[in-house]
Amino acid sequence: MHDVAGKVAVITGAAGGIGLGMARAFADSDMRLVLADIDVNRLMDAVDGLESAGAAVLGVPTDVTDRPSVDALATTAMERYGAVHLLCNNAGGPLPKSVMDVTADDWERVLSVNLFGVINGIHAFLPIMEAQGEGHINATSSLSGLVAFPPVVTYNVAKSGVIAVMETLARELREAGSPIGVSVSCPASVATHIVENMMSNARRTGYEPSLDELTAAEQAQAGLLGGGMDPDEVGRIVLDGVRQGRFWIFSHPELIDGPIRKRFEAMVADGSLPDF
């Protein structure tokens, strides 16, 4: 999908962070937008900001874990614009618990948003795109989907699952001769409030982080905001990847020669688990 001007993009998790960065990048390329998020107040703030900058944008409160809610998002987008050309399944976030601390409810909560949110989006929007004869589905995974770092085991599993779903979908569509494009984004350090959100998510489950965990989280959050990539730049990278038809979209290409290459070289060479 090379020419995106006037095309319609639907973005989940769009009230902030990478989702809002994609929205700004897409608006700069004259795309029409449908933003979805479960946080209604932040969603409307994002819509107002984009509208004031001249973007054509609609905000739709959406719970990506709920299939009817995502179906309603698709219906609303079609009623507003009559087409959907690009879907960015972006909603998600981590939970800071080790393997032995994670509860069954934690697994369900994190997988519901990060993995089943992607699956629900595919089920709602792929038939629309196939009926149109054009479209592209992108999903936000993470470096954590390729290299598992502690202590976010549920997030690592979910983001690995996102890659598996998207790669399977891409191969199925290719074998069927479908014109629908597929891509997966694997960002690393981005200047968002994801760590703060992560700690809030943990507390909502009844888990009270230790002082060491809080200190580490504060340091990590400061590092992201001080040294992480601007979410708007991530948005531009995603759009460029979609335009070029790439499946893998890396915001930090230096990591290909870092932990990603180290992991797969060790896998092939001697089956060891490398340090990073």
E strand or H helix that includes residue 168: helix 153-175
Structure tokens at 88: 């960015």
Q: Is the dihedral of CA 155, 158, 163, 164 positive or negative?
A: positive
Q: Phi and psi at residue 209, in whole multiples of 5°?
A: -60, 150
Closest CA to 35 of 63, 66, 60, 70: 60
For 226, counting Cβ atoms within 10 Å of its Cβ (0-12 exposed, 13-18 middle, 19+ buried), the class is: exposed
**Residue 155: active-site member:** yes
**Of the residues 81, 116, 125, 155, which is catalytic?**
155
Can you give the C-alpha Rg of the chain in angstroms?
Answer: 18
> Cα(226)–Cα(23) distance, rounded to whole angstroms?
22
Residue entry with tokens 């054509």: 56
- Cβ density class 173-185: b for 16+ within 10 Å, e for less: beeeebebbbbbb
Residues 6+ apart with CB under 8 A from 236: 25
Residues noted as catalytic: 155
